[in-house]
Amino acid sequence: MQGQETKYFHAFVAEWLTQHGYTYEHEVTLSQNGRVDFVAKASDDTILLVECKLELRTLTTIKRAIFQVRDYCEQYSDQAKAVLAAPYQAISDDARKLCAKCNILLIEIDRDREIEFQITYDKFSRKLYNRFVPFTLASNFKLADNQIDFAWIFARQGIIEYACDTFEFLTSQGWGHVEAWEKIRANVFEVAQRYIAPSMLDKVINQGFALESQKRFMLLFKNVVGEMNPVIYTEIREKMYVGIWERTSSQLHDELNLTAKQNIRDHFGELASFYTRLAEEISGDRLSRMESLPLNKAMEIIWEVAKMISQQAKATSEMLGMDLVTEKPLLRG
């Protein structure tokens, strides 16, 4: 439970703190013992010590959480305000009453469905792996990359039950393996609308388009240059990011508050995803017209296209008054 809390729920609490004007440190080790989930500070010097819980239903759980966060406040500062954060539907009325009585601020995160989707990813993605990989190895069969990608998008949104069950049903009715997965993929919009919260639908679709665009572009690059390896891939990625967004991947990671394992493209704003895909499409189109190119010349094409797209992205950003990557308002100075 602790791993799920840290991996999935903390991001929603961090978003709440930012939206309410707080800057924060995450997982702060205290002087005597323990580690508090967030130390948040406001411009008026208000300090919040926030401890996150995935549920506050039973009196035992509530009392233990209150004791814990009060202890953290005593260690950190007598000016700090004790705070508990939990999903809205996982908080009992007893918890609300006891927190009010004990002067504990209670942050109620009303994102239960999204939290549930995130938590089910681990369980369902493993089910996909256990069901799907053995048959591919046994039959010496390999899916196309974009089909695998869409399957994993389903997994990441907690609806892999649908993909697995549909796959098994179609193959039992005589469908071929490729045809079955193509059928599932063709229904991605219908499935997404049925199973995914509307606020997450655009993100799912954008992830699918970004994956296909990136795969297609990398394949064209490899065909023209004749090689592709992690070093070249990293150089291409950096040229794209610096050329379009004037930020390295490391800087983008920091601005988007991502962990080391999180994918930058999955967290781009919708328009940032569009412009990055556009740069890949145009670069790919130009490369496809060449029979072969030395590596440095291919990189020059990527840079030229990225700088052209950068001008369009900047104009859009200024018009909308927001940074397209983070979707935060531009700082006017």
Q: Give the residue from 63, 46, 64, 50 showing the smallest Cα distance to 97.
A: 63
How many helices (H) and strands (E) the chain has is answered by: 14, 5
Q: Give the residue from 132, 197, 131, 186 showing the smallest Cα distance to 159.
A: 197
DSSP per-residue letters across 82-125:
EEEEEEGGGB-HHHHHHHHHTT-EEEEE--HHHHHHHHHHHHHH
The residue with tokens 């903390």 is: 10
Q: What is the torsion angle, in degrees rounded to the nearest 10, for the CA atoms of residue 256, residue 8, residue 108 and residue 76?
A: -80
**Cβ-based neighbour number of residue 45 at 10 Å:** 7
Q: Does 122 have pLDDT greater than 70?
A: no
Sign of CA dihedral 42, 47, 48, 49: positive
Q: What are the structure tokens assigned to 197, written together?
A: 């919260």
Q: Does 193 have pLDDT greater than 60?
A: no
Assess contact for 106 and 84: CB atoms under 8 A. yes
Average pLDDT over residues 82-103: 91
Choice between 49 and 130, residue whose per-residue pLDDT is larger: 49
Return the H-helix or E-strand segment holding 23: strand 23-29
Q: Does 103 have pLDDT greater than 60?
A: yes
Q: pLDDT tens digits, residue range 260-302?
A: 667 788 788 888 988 998 898 899 889 888 888 899 999 999 9
The mean pLDDT value of the chain amounts to 76
pLDDT at position 10 is 83
Q: With bands split at pLDDT 50, 70 and 90, how would you rate the model's confidence at 195?
A: very low
- The set of residues, in sequence order, having a beta carbon less than 8 Å from that of 220 and lying 6+ positions away, is 284, 287, 288
* High-pLDDT (> 90) share of the chain, %: 32
Beta bridge partners of 322: 329
Reported pTM: 0.43
